[in-house]
Amino acid sequence: MSPARRAALTWVVGGLLVLAASLAALASPVEAFHGRNPLTGAALVLRRGHEAYVPFDGTWALAGLRERPALGLGLAAIVGLGFALLTRLSSERARPWGAGRMLGIGLAFGALAWLVPVDHARNEGLGDGLTLPTNVGGGMTFGAEIGTSQLMVAAVRLYGLFGGHDALRALRALDAVIAVLLGASLAMLADAAARTVRGRALLLAGLACVGTALQVMGYVETTMLELAALALYLGGAAALLSAGHRAPSAGVLAFSGLGLAVIAHGAGPLAVPSVLALTFAGGRFDLRRIAHHAALFGCGVVIPFLFVVAPRWLGDDLGNADGGGDHIRFVPTSFDWAHPPSAMVYYERFSPLHLADLGNALLVAAPIAPLVLLGLPWLGRAARPSPIVVLLVVAALFTFVIPLAWNHDFGMWGDWNLASTYLLPLHALSWVALVQALERTEPGTRWWTAALASLGAVQGLGLVGLALQLY
């Protein structure tokens, strides 16, 4: 069997194992996955939102499937079938999409976000969904999300100029606008990272059809701008690496996206180290490129940070960047169940409960990443990383700090938007690496179909499992 077929077989078998494990979890009593205090045996209660207290659920990514199993499994199967059908597209080299097509894809995202918003009554039971419209409607801004909250306040006031008084409706309109930016940015990344008609279609579908994207479907939270900003940075950086100085606008877009990510959310600076991979792509010490990127970094990142973020932080207003409601930033390495450090710390780092949370976050936001990384070694030289993949590796390593170590006040279930936002680089890495490897090896349509059907169904599980909790 050729290396390419071994890799495809790995993805098929791995996907089927994940699907089997998920089905076994769905067939088991949900109480079997509730976290418990090892001293008392009592169920561990999670504060999932401002007024939502629920038992800790070690399979929370599948909670929507538990509510409506037949519908959920059917939809997940349709997602897998959709990816399989995309493998039937042409393997010929594709022409560049161009700004018009990328904008059109973005507008389609925006229209979908406006026409099919999530149920806000369900949104209110997670994270800050209950209080955020009232807070920003009253003009409140937050030290950890300065750029985002200022934009939200501006949207509410702009809506008021047209006679509107519903802050929630204004935020949902803002969500749809941000969806346009997200869709266009993902299209730019797909256009730069894949070279065939089939590869681009698969890459765009893989990047977009994931639980993370539900943030721009009318979901009210503080990370929707950060998500789009990271996507703009990654898309612009990929375009810059693909076209170099032939596309000067790509550099402006990349560093503008990075600057927006830095001011939009307190953890945005975690993406900054990946600029080194962008500047020294291919290990080349190019003075012209270094000077160009330094100028763009200064104008696009440093100046916005100095004007928007630095004054608040120098005034000791860090907001939730100080550790949220309990001022505990990171999950502790040890945990005394008899004397918990806070009511919003639920476990110690690398405990089974933490690993369960992390596994659920991956299923929602980067579901195929472990499977793709497992199969790539079979491809040998064909899997040699491109400069775009190297950039995504660096970005993914640093942003993974948030789902791995940050102490989420509302747990990763209530703060799924926070964990999923910073899993975007890892998710993008998995799809770019997969598509680029398959384009180089061409293992055959049947192997493409089997691998993508399996991986797509896994991705569909996380997407549908979360969507059915919000619709």
Whether 90 and 199 have beta carbons less than 8 Å apart is answered as no
Q: Is the pLDDT of residue 424 over 70?
A: yes
Q: Which two structure tokens, joined as six digits, stand for 350?
A: 């690398």
Q: pLDDT tens, 315-329?
A: 888 888 888 888 999
- % residues pLDDT > 90 (the chain): 82
Q: Is the pLDDT of residue 245 over 60?
A: no
Q: Which of 36-45, 67-76, 81-90, 236-245 has the lowest mean pLDDT?
A: 236-245
Residue that is written with structure tokens 């994940």 in the block: 18
Residue 382, pLDDT score: 65
Report residue 244's pLDDT band, with 50, 70 and 90 as the boundaries.
low
What are the DSSP calls for 172-217, one per residue?
HHHHHHHHHHHHHHHHHHHHHH--BHHHHHHHHHHHHSSGGGGGGT
Q: Is the pLDDT of residue 440 over 90?
A: no
Q: Domain map of the chain by residue range?
A: 3-470
Residue 293, pLDDT score: 93
| Mean pLDDT over the full length of the chain | 93
**Average pLDDT for residues 345-373, to the nearest whole number?**
95
**Average pLDDT for residues 108-116, to the nearest whole number?**
97
**Average pLDDT for residues 82-94, to the nearest whole number?**
92
Q: Which two structure tokens, joined as six digits, stand for 320?
A: 């939730």
Q: Is the pLDDT of residue 126 over 70?
A: yes
- Which burial class, exposed, middle or buried, applies to 347 when counting CB atoms under 10 A from its CB (0-12, 13-18, 19+)? buried
Helix (H) or strand (E) holding 45: strand 45-47
SS3 of residue 59 by DSSP: coil
Report residue 279's pLDDT band, with 50, 70 and 90 as the boundaries.
very high
- Comparison of pLDDT for 443 and 323, the residue scoring more: 323
pTM above 0.85, yes or no: yes
Q: pLDDT tens, 457-470?
A: 999 999 999 999 99
Distance CA 232, CA 239 (A): 10
